[in-house]
């Protein structure tokens, strides 16, 4: 009989943490689960520790994968191997809360059949007392159930850019398979590309308001490390290119809600302008690198971006014009940076404070 949960755990150079991670799963009183541990080539004892623990628990399966630089590959392979009804993504340096699987399972059984069950993440910085609650559906205002379109519009009310982490949500495996939802190979920050698509495609979304995932923030993690100043910049180019194309596709389908275009335009143009033109990134990433990654983003032209911006506010349409001017006209690049630094962002910040 298939297990209730499939827990997919990418493991790469997490020897200092993976024993605690797996203990947080095996110590749960709710035992109807399988655990799929994808071990990428590591310089430490990650694989030895994982295999030692797996040898004592037949519910844990281990597979190897070449070093890929992100969690995408092992998440995808784990999903292909999974047999459970519901899928949980857990990273090898994080943990889940005590008895959380029993609480989540009980809530799912009380409201069965949804595609997505969003929960709550408790993020903490290693070695400090800092804690942050990450939840996209505040319980005091959240409906008990939403469609994917309703959920997309709801989260936009409270966050200009809602938390995209895959670990935030318990997924119905059949839903992921039906829509062939996978992470882009080698992509860091893959959650930012995956989650908007999954949320939109869902027929039923049932927020559980369950603080089950304990997210460890550490300086040398895969999600925070970088091989160069523009490393994540390349990732965001891939993310936005994929999302623009996704909007171009679904916006042509019968019954598409144009409010979704407005929602995504606000969120994704915010990412585009902040990652390429905010003072932080202008200082951090050389102009030539920002031009190169912008060329990656628009390597098939700007038609998908233009479609997203139809109906946008005049200020954001102007921002889009300057993005394209920065890309196409070298002589205007300095002026584009002046526009964003001295006009666009100050006015946006002023509006947000009002």
Note whether 212 and 242 are same-domain residues.
Answer: no
Q: Are 210 and 253 within one domain?
A: no
**Cα gap 195→182, rounded to integer Å:** 10
Q: Is 222 inside a domain boundary?
A: no
Q: Which domain holds residue 259?
A: 231-353
* Dihedral sign (CA 274, 275, 280, 286): negative
Does residue 226 lie in a domain region? Answer: no
CATH code of the domain covering residue 112: 3.90.550.10
Domain endpoint, select from 172, 191, 217: 217
The verdict on 239 and 184 lying in the same domain is no
Among the three residues 194, 217, 240, which one is the final residue of a domain in this structure?
Answer: 217
Residues 248 and 197 in one domain: no
> In this structure, are 182 and 303 located in the same domain?
no
Residue 225 lies inside a defined structural domain of this protein: no
From the list 170, 32, 192, the residue with the least C-alpha distance to 112 is 170
Report if residue 223 sits inside a domain. no
Q: Are residues 212 and 258 in the same domain?
A: no
Is residue 76 one of the residues assigned to a domain? yes
Q: Is residue 207 part of a domain?
A: yes
* Domain limit, last residue, from 217, 252, 285: 217
User: Do the domain assignments include residue 329?
Assistant: yes
Question: Measured between alpha carbons, how far is 111 from 104 in angstroms, rounded to an integer?
Answer: 11
Q: How many domains does the chain have?
A: 2
The verdict on 207 and 85 lying in the same domain is yes
| Tens digit of each residue's pLDDT, the chain (354 residues) | 899 999 999 999 999 999 999 999 999 999 999 999 999 998 999 999 999 999 999 999 999 988 887 889 999 999 999 999 999 999 999 999 999 999 999 999 999 999 999 999 999 998 888 899 999 999 999 999 999 999 999 988 877 778 999 999 999 999 999 999 999 988 888 999 999 999 999 999 999 999 999 999 976 655 555 444 456 789 999 999 999 999 999 999 999 999 999 999 999 999 999 999 999 889 889 999 999 999 999 999 999 999 999 989 999 999 999 999 999 999 999 999 999 999 999 988 877 665
Is residue 239 domain-shared with residue 107, that is, in the same domain? no
- Does residue 166 sit in the same domain as residue 209? yes
Q: CB within 8 A of 39, min separation 6: which ones?
A: 11, 12, 46, 47, 50, 62, 63, 64, 65, 74
Same-domain status, 129 and 269: no
Residues 212 and 237 in one domain: no
**pTM summary value:** 0.94
Considering the domain architecture, whether residues 64 and 192 belong to the same structural domain is answered as yes
């Amino acid at each position: 009989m298939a297990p209730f949960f499939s827990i997919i755990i990418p493991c790469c150079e997490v020897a200092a943490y993976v024993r605690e991670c797996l203990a947080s799963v095996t110590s749960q009183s709710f035992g109807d689960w399988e655990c799929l541990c994808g071990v990428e080539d590591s310089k430490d004892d990650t694989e030895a520790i994982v295999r030692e623990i797996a040898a004592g628990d037949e519910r844990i399966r281990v597979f190897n994968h070449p070093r890929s630089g992100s969690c995408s590959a092992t998440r995808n392979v784990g999903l292909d191997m999974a047999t459970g009804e519901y899928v949980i993504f857990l990273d090898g340096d994080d943990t889940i809360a005590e008895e959380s699987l029993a609480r989540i399972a009980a809530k799912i059984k009380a409201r069965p059949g949804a595609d997505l069950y969003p929960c709550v993440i408790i993020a903490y910085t290693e070695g400090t007392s800092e804690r942050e609650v990450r939840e996209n559906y505040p319980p005091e205002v959240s409906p008990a159930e939403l469609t994917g379109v309703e959920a997309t519009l709801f989260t936009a009310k409270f966050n200009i850019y809602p938390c995209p982490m895959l670990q935030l949500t318990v997924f119905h495996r059949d839903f992921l398979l039906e829509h062939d939802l996978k992470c882009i190979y080698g992509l860091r920050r893959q959650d930012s590309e995956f989650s908007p698509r999954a949320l939109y495609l869902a027929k039923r979304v049932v927020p559980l308001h369950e603080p089950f995932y304990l997210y460890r923030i550490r300086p040398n993690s895969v999600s925070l490390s970088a091989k160069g100043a523009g490393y994540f910049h390349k990732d965001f180019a891939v993310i936005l290119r994929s999302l623009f194309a996704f909007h171009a596709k679904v916006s042509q389908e019968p019954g598409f809600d144009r409010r979704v275009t407005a929602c995504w335009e606000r969120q994704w143009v915010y990412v585009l302008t902040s990652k390429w033109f905010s003072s932080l990134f202008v200082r951090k990433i050389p102009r030539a690198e920002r031009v190169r990654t912008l060329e990656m983003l628009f390597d098939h032209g700007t038609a998908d971006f233009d479609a997203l911006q139809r109906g946008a506010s005049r200020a954001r349409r102007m921002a889009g014009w300057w993005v394209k001017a920065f890309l196409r006209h070298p002589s205007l690049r300095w002026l584009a940076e002046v526009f964003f630094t001295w006009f666009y962002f100050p006015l946006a910040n002023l509006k947000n404070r009002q």
